[in-house]
C-alpha cells in the first residue's frame, strides 16, 4: 500500500504536531504515530516550558543558563535563536488554547535546576498533557492532515539506498519517504513524501530504569543512522535525579519543580547533602544532582534518597502538584506529611540526529526536531524545561525552510514504480518470541550496569562486546522472521545502545552527563562533538536479501 503526501511527520509530540499544523498551510500532511496520537514524551512532561516572559528576565540570561548547563558544547547561535524566538511561539500555543496556570492575572512561573530566574510556564504538573490536548484539537480541525496511529517506522526510503550512483548520507542523497508497520494489521505501508520530519522522541527504554514512556525505544535515531544521517553526542544521556522509588511505579517522574518550590533532598537519616556538591544545592543542574545521589547511595548502601516538601502546606501541595500527589498516594506515600523515596532514572537523550539551525539533516528533505535530534541547544547537559522549547522553535524553523524548498520546486518527481514494494521474502512467523523478550531485558540491564551515570573503560568495553553479540543475533532474527512491533523495537534499542557505547568510548574526558572514572577531568581538547555515520549500502527490505549485503 502506497500513500503519497507532501509532508510526512513521524512522531506526535510537540515537535511533530507543531510541524504538522504549520506545514498544513503548504500541502497535505501525514502524521505517523507509533501509538495513539497523544502518546509521546510530551504527554508526560510535568515541569513545563522555559521561556522569557517577565521584565526581570532576558534572552541573555536564559541563554547564559543554557550554556552553563551545556558544559561548553552548546552551539551558541542555536541557543540564542531558540531563547529569542521561544516567547512568540509560546504565545502561539496560548492562542491555540493551551491553558497555562495563572496566579491572578499573570502566569505562574516556576524555577528549576540551573535557571537563574522564574521562567517555567506550566499547567500545574500536567503541562505536556495540556499541550497535547490543545494541539490535537487543532490537528483534528485540519482537513489536509491525515493521522495514522499505531504505525511504526521501519526504515527511511532514500535516494542513496535505491540509486547505486548516490552514496548514502552524501550531499546528493535525499529522503523520499518511509516504510512503516501498521501494528494492528501487521501490514507494511509505504509513505512517499517531498519533505519528511523525524520527531519520534528519545531512547530512554534502552535503560532498565527510565521515566520515559514505552514508545521511547530509539526508533528514529536507529532508522536515521541506518539511512546514513550523522548522529552526534549519544554519550550524553540525562538521568533525572528524582523518580519515585517503588517496584510498581515504573520510575514515575517527580518533577524538578518540586525542588523548585523548595523541596530538599535528604538521606535516610534525614541529613541533607547537596550543599556539599554545588552552590545551588538541590537546584544544581541535573547531571550534578544525579551523580550526587548515585554517589551517596553507593556510599551508604541505601536503595534511595528522600525528597522532602513537607514545609509546604497540604493544600498548597495538592493544588501545585495534583498529579504527583495523587500518584504518590496510590503507592502509599503522603508527600504532605513525609519525604518521598526517589532515585535517578534515564530521562532524556541529549544527543541524536545532527541538524542545523533549521532542523535539516545531512540528507536532503529529511528534517528532525525534538528529542530525536541534536541541534546544539543542550550541549553536554540539557537545562530543565528546554526540551519542549526546542521542539517548538525548531519545528517552526523547519517548516519555514521546507516551505521555501517546496516553493523552489527543487524536487525530483517520485515514481511509485521505482520504489521497491515491501515483501517479506522467505521470512516466516516466529514461534520463539522468548528470544525477543530475553534480548530486550539483557540489553537494558547491560546499559544500566555498564553505561549508566558513572562509567569506566572496563565497563564500556564489556558492554560493547556483549551488545555486538546481541546485534549479530538480532540481525539474523530480523531477516529470518516476519517483522513485528517487538522485533522492530528490539532491533532499534540494540543499535541505539551500540551508538551510545561507541560515542562514550570516543570521549576521553568527563563532561556534563558523561562521567568516566578513567578520565575524571574535563579536557579542552574534547570541546567538540562525537559524530557517528554509517554509509553502508543496505537493502531496503527483505526482498533484497538474496542480492544485497546487509547490516
d(CA 402, CA 193): 12
Task: Clarify whether 455 is annotated catalytic.
Answer: no
- Contact between 532 and 507 under an 8 Å Cβ cutoff? The reply is no
Residues β-bridged to residue 353: 231, 373
* Helix (H), strand (E) at residue 517: none
Selected catalytic residue, list 111, 119, 226, 286: 286
d(CA 491, CA 192): 24
10 Å CB burial of residue 99 (0-12, 13-18, 19+) is exposed
- Contact between 533 and 230 under an 8 Å Cβ cutoff? The reply is yes
Look at the block and give the residue holding cell 522553535. 393
d(CA 179, CA 353): 19
List the one residue out of 469, 491, 468, 496 whose CA is nearest residue 478: 491
Residue 497 CA, chain-centre distance (Å), reads: 14
Conformational region of residue 162, where left means phi above 0, alpha means psi within -120 to 50, and beta covers everything else: alpha
Conformational region of residue 107, where left means phi above 0, alpha means psi within -120 to 50, and beta covers everything else: beta
CA distances from 436 to 152, 156, 339, 430, 480 (A): 17, 23, 39, 10, 13
The residues annotated with a catalytic role in the active site are: 286
Amino acid at each position: 500500500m502506497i500513500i503519497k503526501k507532501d509532508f510526512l511527520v513521524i512522531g506526535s509530540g510537540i515537535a511533530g504536531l507543531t510541524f504538522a499544523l504549520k506545514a498544513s498551510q503548504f500541502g497535505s500532511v501525514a502524521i505517523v504515530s507509533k501509538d495513539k496520537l497523544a502518546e509521546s514524551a510530551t504527554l508526560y512532561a510535568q515541569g513545563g516550558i522555559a521561556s522569557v516572559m517577565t521584565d526581570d528576565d532576558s534572552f541573555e540570561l536564559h541563554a547564559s543558563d543554557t550554556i552553563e548547563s551545556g558544559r561548553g558544547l552548546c552551539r551558541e547561535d542555536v541557543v540564542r535563536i531558540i531563547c529569542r524566538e521561544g516567547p512568540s511561539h509560546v504565545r502561539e500555543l496560548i492562542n491555540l488554547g493551551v491553558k497555562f496556570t495563572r496566579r491572578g492575572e499573570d502566569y505562574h512561573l516556576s524555577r528549576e535546576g540551573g535557571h537563574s530566574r522564574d521562567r517555567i510556564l506550566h499547567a500545574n504538573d500536567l503541562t505536556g498533557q495540556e499541550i497535547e490536548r490543545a494541539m490535537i484539537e487543532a490537528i483534528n480541525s485540519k482537513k489536509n492532515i491525515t493521522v495514522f496511529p499505531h504505525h511504526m517506522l521501519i526504515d527511511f526510503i532514500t535516494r542513496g539506498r535505491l540509486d547505486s550512483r548516490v552514496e548514502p548520507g552524501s550531499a546528493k542523497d535525499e529522503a523520499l519517504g518511509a516504510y512503516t508497520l501498521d501494528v494492528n494489521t501487521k501490514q507494511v505501508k509505504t509513505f512517499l513524501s517531498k519533505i519528511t520530519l523525524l520527531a519520534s522522541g528519545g531512547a530512554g527504554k534502552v535503560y532498565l530504569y527510565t521515566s520515559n514512556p514505552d514508545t521511547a525505544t530509539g526508533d528514529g535515531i536507529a532508522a536515521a543512522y541506518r539511512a546514513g544521517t550523522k548522529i552526534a553526542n549519544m554519550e550524553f544521556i540525562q538521568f533525572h535525579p528524582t523518580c519515585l522509588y517503588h517496584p510498581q511505579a515504573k520510575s514515575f517522574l517527580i518533577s524538578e519543580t518540586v525542588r523548585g518550590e523548595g523541596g530538599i533532598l535528604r538521606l535516610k537519616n534525614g541529613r541533607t547533602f547537596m550543599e556539599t556538591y554545588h552552590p545551588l544545592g538541590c537546584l544544581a543542574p541535573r547531571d550534578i544532582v544525579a551523580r550526587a545521589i548515585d554517589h551517596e547511595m553507593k556510599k551508604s548502601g541505601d536503595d534511595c534518597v528522600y525528597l522532602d516538601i513537607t514545609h509546604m502546606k497540604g493544600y498548597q501541595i495538592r493544588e501545585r502538584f495534583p498529579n504527583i500527589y495523587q500518584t504518590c498516594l496510590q503507592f502509599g506515600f503522603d508527600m504532605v506529611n513525609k519525604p518521598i523515596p526517589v532515585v535517578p532514572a534515564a530521562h532524556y537523550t541529549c544527543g541524536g540526529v545532527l541538524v542545523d539551525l533549521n532542523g535539516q539533516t545531512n540528507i536532503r528533505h529529511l528534517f528532525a526536531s525534538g528529542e530525536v535530534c541534536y541541534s546544539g541547544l543542550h550541549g553536554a547537559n540539557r537545562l530543565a524545561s528546554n526540551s519542549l522549547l526546542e521542539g517548538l522553535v525548531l519545528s517552526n524553523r523547519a517548516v519555514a525552510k521546507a516551505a521555501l524548498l517546496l516553493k523552489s520546486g527543487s524536487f525530483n518527481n517520485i515514481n511509485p514504480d521505482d520504489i521497491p514494494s515491501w515483501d517479506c521474502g522467505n521470512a516466516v512467523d516466529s514461534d520463539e518470541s522468548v528470544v525477543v523478550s530475553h534480548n530486550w531485558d539483557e540489553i537494558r540491564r547491560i546499559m544500566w550496569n555498564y553505561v549508566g551515570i558513572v562509567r569506566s573503560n572496563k565497563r564500556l568495553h564489556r558492554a560493547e562486546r556483549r551488545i555486538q553479540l546481541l546485534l549479530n543475533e538480532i540481525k539474523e532474527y530480523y531477516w529470518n522472521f516476519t517483522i513485528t512491533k517487538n522485533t522492530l523495537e528490539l532491533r532499534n534499542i540494540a543499535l541505539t545502545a551500540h551508538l551510545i557505547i561507541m560515542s562514550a568510548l570516543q570521549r576521553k574526558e568527563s563532561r556534563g552527563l558523561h562521567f568516566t572514572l578513567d578520565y575524571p577531568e574535563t579536557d579542552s581538547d574534547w570541546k567538540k562533538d562525537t559524530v557517528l555515520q554509517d554509509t553502508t549500502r543496505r537493502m531496503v527490505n527483505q526482498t533484497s536479501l538474496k542480492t544485497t549485503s546487509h547490516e
